[in-house]
Amino acid sequence: MLVTHHWFHDKATMVNKLGSLEVSMNLNLMDPRLIAIAAAVIVIVAVGAWLYVRKRRGTTAGLREKFGPEYDRAVLAHGSKAEAKLADREKRINQLNIRDLDSMEHERYSKQWEAVQSRFVDSPKGAVAQADDLVSSVMKARGYPVADFEQRVADISVDHPRVVENYRSAHEIALRAGKEGATTEDLRTAMIHYRSLFEELVQVPVAVERKEVA
């Protein structure tokens, strides 16, 4: 009986302690300092989430504006990794020594283009092949690596997104022409596309043009 009595007494004591602990925890949870800290944490998390979303939207908008249709193409090709791929292109270009052509180079390449274009009447296929080579030469002169076509396209898309799809189309036609798979109209289209890229690549900076006029 004595053992039983002690057991009930201990159990009652434990229940009282648990009850006191629960009351104490409830009181602590009502502590204004804890409430303030919890509220501050919630605000910090909410602001952090808002800033993250805002930054992502800003990044997306910036890349869309910069790359134009090339952004949509990257999304189709790379899905959720598209923006990272485009950002990598920008980083790569920043690490390359890309330069503008000087006025003498501009004049020399422009005359070469005129010669290529005039050849189209007599040899459309030969003119397209020369146009492809000339564009590559201008790219190389400006500091773009030209060994791999896909890398060339990716590099060009950073500074010349408006005409990069033209370059793809023209190069594809040039390859088909080598296999007798392009019509004269296809070749004419390729020349127009090559010209659009060529004109952007050989542009002389406005500051240089003004200096020469002065």
Is pLDDT of 35 > 90? no
Q: Is residue 31 included in any domain, yes or no?
A: yes
Residues 117, 55, single domain; the answer is no
Residues 118, 208, single domain; the answer is yes
Residues 114, 51, single domain; the answer is no
So what's the pLDDT on residue 41?
Answer: 63
pLDDT digits (tens, 9 = 90+) for 151-195: 999 999 999 998 999 999 999 999 998 888 899 999 999 999 999
Q: Is the distance from CB of 152 to CB of 146 less than 8 angstroms?
A: yes
- Out of 52, 72, 92, a domain closes at 72
So what's the pLDDT on residue 3?
Answer: 43
* Domain that includes residue 124, residue range: 103-213
> Which of 35-39, 134-138, 174-178 is predicted least confidently?
35-39
Per-residue pLDDT band at 205 (split at 50, 70, 90): low
Choose between 70 and 27: higher pLDDT.
70
Per-residue pLDDT band at 16 (split at 50, 70, 90): low
Q: Is the distance from CB of 128 to CB of 177 less than 8 angstroms?
A: yes
Q: Is residue 89 included in any domain, yes or no?
A: no
Please count the structural domains in the chain: 2
Choose between 57 and 165: higher pLDDT.
165
> Which of 26-30, 32-36, 58-62, 130-134 is predicted least confidently?
26-30
What is d(CA 198, CA 167) in angstroms, rounded to the nearest whole number?
10
Q: Is the distance from CB of 197 to CB of 135 less than 8 angstroms?
A: yes
Q: What percent of the chain has pLDDT over 90?
A: 53
Give the mean model confidence (pLDDT) for residues 201-208: 65
Is pLDDT of 5 > 50? no
Residues 62, 155, single domain; the answer is no
Q: Dihedrals φ, ψ of 150, to 5°?
A: -60, -35
So what's the pLDDT on residue 181?
Answer: 85
Give the mean model confidence (pLDDT) for residues 96-111: 94
Q: Is residue 164 included in any domain, yes or no?
A: yes
Q: Is residue 95 included in any domain, yes or no?
A: no
Identify the burial level of 126 via C-beta atoms within 10 angstroms of its C-beta, where 0-12 means exposed, 13-18 middle and 19 or more buried.
Answer: middle
Q: Is residue 96 included in any domain, yes or no?
A: no
So what's the pLDDT on residue 68?
Answer: 80
Residues 134, 193, single domain; the answer is yes
Q: Is residue 97 included in any domain, yes or no?
A: no
- 3-state secondary structure (DSSP) of residue 98: coil
Q: What is the DSSP string of the chain?
A: -HHHHHHHHHHHHHHHHHHHHHHHHHHHHT-HHHHHHHHHHHHHHHHHHHHHHHHHHHHHHHHHHHHTHHHHHHHHHHGGGHHHHHHHHHHHHHHS------HHHHHHHHHHHHHHHHHTTT-HHHHHHHHHHHHHHHHHHHT---S-HHHHHHHHHHH-TTTHHHHHHHHHHHHHHHTT---HHHHHHHHHHHHHHHHHHTPPPHHHHHHHH-
Tell me the pLDDT of the chain averaged across its residues: 79
pTM of the model: 0.67
